[in-house]
Amino acid sequence: MAKPDIHPEWYPEAKVYCNGQVVMTVGSTKPELHVDVWSGNHPFYTGTQKIIDTEGRVERFLRKYGMMDGQSKKSKKDQK
């Protein structure tokens, strides 16, 4: 059995707020949770995630391993 008076109060219906709107209810030790990002507006879960190609790294990786569409590998002689 749990010891009395040492555990935080449990709120089984704690409300989660994002941008001032209740987005879900969860169990928590706080009655209200304010978040900036949740699964309903995160790009990974909404399908709007974009890969940011910094300094052509993705393209360079694809070229290095021959994964570019429509382009064949060039030999070192062709590149000179």
Burial track 31-60 (b if 16+ CB lie within 10 A, e otherwise): eebeeeeeeeeeeeeeeeeeeeeeeeeeee
- Find residue 11's DSSP bridge partners: 28
- What pLDDT, in 10s, does the model give residues 42-54? 887 788 877 676 6
Q: What is the pLDDT of residues 64-76, one digit of tens each?
A: 888 877 554 454 4
Tokens of 7: 């555990």
0.75 exceeded by pTM: no
